[in-house]
Amino acid sequence: MNRLEQLKSTGNKAFVAYIMAGDGGLDRLKEQVQYLQTAGVTAIEIGIPFSDPVADGPTIEAAGNRALKQGVTLQKVLEELQSWTFQVEIPLLVMTYLNPVLKFGVERFATECGKAGVSGVIIPDLPFEHKQLVQPYVDKEGIKLIQLVTLTTTDARLNDILSEAEGFVYAVTVKGITGSRDEMSEEVKAFMRKVREKSPVPVYAGFGISKSSHVEMLRDDVDGFIVGSAIVEAFNDDRIQEIEPLIHAVTASHSI
């Protein structure tokens, strides 16, 4: 069974950590994954650097540029994942823009992700309309193609997207790009409730989640959180342990 399918059954809120592969050198990826796994995250999203990351804010873009300077490519990341011998117990997701996938070959991408034990892929510039470009190939490997929904997604569109959603739904909390935010609006809460009501799969909130206050605000309306910029920044500044309280704020079972 695809590991993503086990997620909802655990009951607790999920914490998905985003890291930029190769930020600080590709050899750090392994220790970062091991660290996060030990720290109790639910799943890890491994970002592939891209020259033109239009959905990302300055933090992730800068991390991507650092990785690109180190010569990190999609191929090298997949080879790195395939070389691991330690036990990866949580689902790994690959997040990449479409162009590196096209260049690598969609079918080859799916096969190599399969070999690397990847459970899902997220391609932010591959909208629902065009997902056929990738879907049949990942289907063949049993890998989930995660869909994004945002505050600007119309209701008709939301229904369509959710009707084919698999793995989990990535619900974007802001009308903008990735990056840490100070506040979450009421509008966001209402949106999350709407998505969750209709979604056949867990709903995870992402983009701009960086503080326990964000988690508190949305906790009852989502199944989990995706944290990117805050983790990328913490790894880069060598203070990743400061993220642990946020992980625990999410994953601790909550009795009311």
Q: Considering just the CA atoms, what is the radius of gyration of the chain in Å?
A: 17
**Which residue in 45, 112, 166, 221 is the catalytic one?**
45
Tokens of 124: 């932010």
User: CB of 87: closest distance to another protein in angstroms?
Assistant: 29
Q: Which stretch binds another protein (CB under 8 A): 6-14, 123-131, 184-192, 194-202?
A: 123-131
Residue in the structure block whose two tokens are 């162009």: 99
Residue 126 CB coordination number (10 Å):
22
Q: Does 124 bind another protein (CB under 8 A)?
A: yes
CB 227 within 8 A of CB 19: no
Beta partners for residue 169, in sequence order: 147, 203
- In the residue annotation, 45 being an active-site residue is answered as yes
Tokens of 28: 């750090």
**Nearer Cβ to another protein, position 140 or 254?**
140
Q: Which stretch binds another protein (CB under 8 A): 150-158, 190-198, 209-217, 237-245?
A: 150-158
Q: Does 70 bind another protein (CB under 8 A)?
A: no
Q: Which stretch binds another protein (CB under 8 A): 23-31, 113-121, 159-167, 195-203?
A: 159-167
Q: Does 137 bind another protein (CB under 8 A)?
A: yes
**CA nearest to 129, candidates 164, 93, 95, 97:** 164
Total residue count of the chain as it appears in this document:
256
Residues 84-113 that bind another protein (CB under 8 A): 97-104, 107, 111
- In the residue annotation, 5 being an active-site residue is answered as no
Exposed/middle/buried for residue 160 (C-beta within 10 Å: 0-12, 13-18, 19+): middle
- Which residues are catalytically annotated? 45, 56
Task: Name the residues that contact another protein, by CB under 8 A.
Answer: 50-52, 54-55, 57, 61, 68, 73-75, 97-104, 107, 111, 124-133, 136-137, 139-140, 147-154, 156-157, 159-160, 163-164, 172, 175-177
